Amino acid sequence: MGDSSAGTVLPATAAARDRLVAAAIALATGHGLDDLAGRLRRAAAPDRPASCRVCFLGSFSTGKSHLINQLLGRPMLPVGEPPTTRAVVTVRPGDPAADGAGVRHCDAPWLREADLELIDTPGTDTDPGDAPALVAPGCDVAVVTVRAVGGLNLQERELLRDLALVHRVPVVLVVVTMLDHLRGDPAPVLARARAIAAGVGPAIEVLPGPSGDGAVPARPADLAALRRRLAEAARDDGRAAARDRQIVALLTAACAHMLALAGEVEAARDDAGAARARARIESERATARVRWQALRVDLDDRRRQARARVRAAASAPWDETAAEIGRLAAASADPAACWREEVVPLLRRAAAARLAATGAALDTAFGADAAWLEAGLTGMIGAVAGLDGARAAADVEGALDPPADAVRAARRWGRMLFEGGALALDVALALTPLAPLNVLSVRLWEHLRRRFGGGAEDGRRLVAETAAHVLEGFAAELADGAAERADAMYGRLAEAAEDWHEAWWRTRLALWEDDGEPRARGRRLRFEAGRLAAEAAALAREMGST
């Protein structure tokens, strides 16, 4: 492509961007605005490699590592049950002898020719470090793997929204794995996934996975199509341009924030005025801390209410399921076959539905309480500092990650899984020691089979009693687990909100520190930030025309 191609960033433009970002980081650091400097530093990622980075994300055991192995044509990464990926692993083109911590090298011709990095991540439901938030902002392509059985659940839809709308990853792909586990035509499953993905973001693409065991695909044509799509993304100059525009937009917002801080400091006409202004802001901060503690008390009350809701959802009576099992057992001449062929699938479906209901109860409660806390934080700061809530939120946006980011991080980390998939109970068994559910294992099936020898009537009674035991035990374990998850989610949300609150005041007070004359520092900051803002605006215009 020539320099005039749409979406191409000229080398001179890239150099100007890097220079302005470095100057903004130095300016913010020199005036004690460490939170602002940190955000610019994270966004700019100056050491980012030139290769196209492809991040593989999704719930545990949806086939991320397996799919990477198939793309590479060799078993580079461990796969299997339980989850095998414990940390982020990057596979790059090159000599395997150069492998290091968290980095593997592969000499596969396709990987080298496409100039790709493939990044494997732990399951989004098993990694408290929140892998999407850590790796997605620096990715050019995000591949979200979902099981064919169960489809896109609520957590996966939320992940897609974050990738497309929050992290603004240029290319987001959904790959439907394990299509060979379906009994019928996969076309309806793919059509449904495409309809759901289109509702999240029209640019999100859905592709069939190659399926099959090991590195050899069962559907070679689908593997070839996925390789072509990733290679196309690597050749797309627009991905670099989109990332650069994001950086320049953040730089512009940061300059505006520094100008606002400088203007507040310069408004103090003399040393006495500066001392009074600092004292006023310190007083406002102390008031805000008291009000924040009151918000935390209210949040703790909401946490207890959420615990009660999820416990109630998990412990609801199993009347309909028990009645259906009773009908199945009564109509069966062979209780053992009834248990294996009819009751066990029914128990799996009932458990999946209960997991979904419990997860939805927790998600609904947490979502409402997180929105309440976000509004309360910005409203409280606005009231204390003499700003309206919208101004308080906008005022800090250029300096800090907005409070909504903390909310989303806690929500992703804590969201319940298994919303209705047929494999829900199997997943629950793999994750947690739900002892009563072991009756569904092969070993206990053998134990039950021996007991079914006592006659048809005894067998029917055994079916009903065992099913009731399974459901009661499952509900008890689920209620405890959901309550613990609610505690963890709300605790993380409170910590993130408190960090955000402290950073807001720390940023506002930075120019009023005792070392140096605040008004002189304000004038210098206004001059330098104004110059940077003008250059950033000119750069943004230039990027728009290239």
User: Does the pLDDT of residue 519 top 50, yes or no?
Assistant: yes
Q: In the chain, where are the structural domains located?
A: 20-252+518-528, 272-379+401-489
- Altogether, the residues listed in the chain come to a count of 546
Which tokens sit at 123? 């399951």
Note the pLDDT tens digit of each residue in 7-23: 444 556 777 888 888 88
Across the chain, mean pLDDT equals: 75
Cα torsion angle, 129, 130, 136, 141, sign? positive
The residues that bridge with 103 in the sheet, in sequence order, are 90, 100
Cα torsion angle, 242, 246, 249, 251, sign? negative
User: Does the pLDDT of residue 89 top 50, yes or no?
Assistant: yes
Which tokens sit at 534? 């003008």
pLDDT mean over 153-179: 82
Note the pLDDT tens digit of each residue in 344-353: 778 877 877 7
Which tokens sit at 404? 């909504």
The pLDDT confidence band at residue 409, using thresholds 50, 70 and 90, is: very low
Supply the pLDDT for residue 490.
Answer: 87
The pLDDT confidence band at residue 404, using thresholds 50, 70 and 90, is: very low
Neighbouring C-beta atoms of residue 492, cutoff 10 Å: 18
DSSP conformation class of 10: P
User: Does the pLDDT of residue 143 top 50, yes or no?
Assistant: yes
- Of 248 and 326, the structure prediction assigns the larger pLDDT to 326
User: Does the pLDDT of residue 463 top 70, yes or no?
Assistant: yes
* 1-5, 17-21, 215-219, 388-392: range with highest mean pLDDT: 17-21
Supply the pLDDT for residue 423.
Answer: 33
pLDDT mean over 540-544: 75
- Cβ atoms 148, 176 nearer than 8 A: yes
User: Does the pLDDT of residue 290 top 60, yes or no?
Assistant: yes
Which tokens sit at 510? 């930075």
The pLDDT confidence band at residue 437, using thresholds 50, 70 and 90, is: very low
User: Does the pLDDT of residue 110 top 80, yes or no?
Assistant: yes
- Of 261 and 172, the structure prediction assigns the larger pLDDT to 172
- Of 348 and 121, the structure prediction assigns the larger pLDDT to 121
Note the pLDDT tens digit of each residue in 368-395: 888 788 788 877 877 776 654 444 444 4
- Cβ atoms 160, 172 nearer than 8 A: yes
The residues that bridge with 116 in the sheet, in sequence order, are 52
Candidate CATH numbers 3.40.50.300, 3.90.960.10, 3.60.150.10, 3.30.360.10; the one for domain 20-252+518-528: 3.40.50.300
Supply the pLDDT for residue 302.
Answer: 94
The residues that bridge with 142 in the sheet, in sequence order, are 55, 172
- Which secondary structure element, helix H or strand E, spans residue 213, and what is its range? none
What pTM did the predictor assign? 0.58
